[in-house]
Amino acid sequence: MAVSRRTFIEQLAVVGGLSLAVAGMEALGFGFASAQAAPPPLTGKGKGVRVVILGAGLAGMTAAYELTKAGYDCQVIEARSFAGGRCQTARKGFSHTDLIGHTQVCDFDEGLYINHGPWRIPYNHRSTLHYTKLFGVALEPFVNDNDAAYVYFQNGGGPLAGKRLRKGQLAADMRGYAAELMAKAAGKGGLDLPLSPADRDRFIGYLVSQGRLSPKSLAYGPTEGRGFDVYHGAGLDPGPGKLSAPFALADILSSDTWRALEPLGDHEQQLTMLQPVGGMDHLAKGFERHVGKLIRYDTEVQKLTQGAAGVEVFFTDKAGKSGSIQADYCICTIPLSVLQGLDVAVSAPFKAAMAGPAYAPVNKIGLQMKRRFWEEDHAIYGGHIATDIPGIDTISLPSTGWQGQKGVLLGYYAFGADAARISAKSPADRAAFAVAAGQKIFPEYAESFESAFSVSWHLTRYSQGGWAEWSDDARASAYPVLCEPDGRLYLAGEHLSYLGGWQAGAIESAWQQIAKLHARVNAA
């Protein structure tokens, strides 16, 4: 029986979830790379056209870099004292004051840091990788999944609740039990699939291989792929070793620990990703080396007016001095959460559309440890500790500096109501909360802790949120309005992409908007 590609992909999704469906689509040639791998060619006239760009994040600097190459006269206004927007890295001396009034100065040891903004780059974000290569930003692997990492779920039921488990063992058990159930069903003809007897045998052989099943009984049991309680070694002792016993399927299900196997279902969440050597802000610094001379730092936008002949942006600098810049066009990359509070001359429909998305409350904290106990005592090199502790969500171990003396781990990465609740604490109390939670998983946590640096993006003055979150209705109604210019004003940023929260979203949004602006200039 012929099966359409659509039906085949749908069946893959039913059997193996999104990750298997994506793999099947890529195998058939339906790739999921970012929409663009290179900036638009800006051929034609651009010289002498003045563009004022609001915000020196990645979207703003992308626009400035590409437009300047095409001959445009660009000026960039940035409220912060540094470029990058949310592309930030905290290292020794970095200062942050939140909207509550808490000021922190990072005192990590030299060479240690935490990426409290973006922290990883998927291979398919080719737009971001275009600039890391162009600007000579060295990259290294980011371990986004690690079978040796722990899963700790305390709120489920059964004998596994509140126990520290290796993720690889959970994955092996769930894969094995699923394969066992499917293999036994296939062997009895219980699967409604158009398989010939020979195909059925091959399919069962595949499941035996993937699930490490017994070829005779089709049962799942202790396997090398799951690991050992006693590892085999040289000589006669300890001999062949002792395979570890699987957790019972009912215990895994009742404990909810199987949920820790879900996060890599999104296409951006690859097993291995990339990160700039020394911190994500090196990407921002790469842009800054090329467009830094165009940026007015410590300058807050107060008002924007526009007419048939151009735009005018009014601002106040760090010293309190007011001024304005006139230009032919404006590209605004200020987050909508901030832009809504400014005096901006736009049409009523455009103004209403700016309220379309909500902005995610997001918390991160870096914890400097005097000893890399996760490596020395637990043999975990990179990856994430999945947990259901409210306000923690994820603990991430560094993918750099392996086998060094000290290290900075990500103590929590929380969202929504939990993030809002923890962000109300003082920085010291946030650190105490993170350390107490980590102590439940690693007994060395508290004794190894030295210092912390935390950021709550919803409490960060010029961001007021981690990223834009669009509802389906707002995507359909408000989003298309904002993707088009309002008069001489163009918006760009991760909020105007389907890659929300990713640097590629900011870059590709800028690419699309400068292409529209350039086409307009050349059509005039």
pLDDT tens string, the chain, 524 residues long: the values are 455 555 555 555 554 444 445 455 555 544 444 457 899 999 888 889 999 999 999 999 999 999 999 999 999 999 999 999 999 999 999 999 999 999 999 999 999 999 999 999 999 899 999 999 999 999 999 999 999 999 999 998 899 999 999 998 888 888 788 777 777 776 666 555 565 777 667 767 767 777 788 888 888 888 777 777 776 667 666 667 788 888 888 888 888 887 777 644 466 777 889 999 999 999 999 999 999 999 999 999 999 999 999 999 999 999 999 999 999 999 999 999 999 999 999 999 999 999 999 999 999 999 999 999 999 999 999 999 999 999 999 999 999 999 999 999 999 999 999 999 999 999 999 999 999 999 999 999 999 999 999 999 999 999 999 999 999 999 999 999 999 999 999 999 999 999 999 999 999 999 999 999 999 999 88
Spatial distance between the Cα atoms of 493 and 130, rounded to a whole number of angstroms: 17
Q: What is the largest CA-CA distance in the chain?
A: 87
What is the reported pLDDT for 297? 98
Strand partners, 315: 301, 323
All structural domains of the chain, each given as residue ranges with its CATH number in brackets, are 1-32 (no CATH), 50-78+293-356+471-523 (3.50.50.60), 90-149+270-279+361-459 (3.90.660.10), 167-255 (1.20.1440.240)
* Beta carbons within 8 Å of 270's beta carbon, 6+ residues apart: 122, 123, 124, 144, 264
**Segment holding 104, helix H or strand E:** strand 103-105
Closest CA to 79 of 339, 318, 259: 318
Q: Are strands 322-327 and 311-317 parallel, antiparallel or unpaired?
A: antiparallel
CB 142 within 8 A of CB 120: yes
So what's the pLDDT on residue 5? 55
pLDDT at 34: 47
d(C-alpha 461, C-alpha 96), whole Å: 10
**pTM of the model as a whole:** 0.85
Place of tokens 């690693």: 442
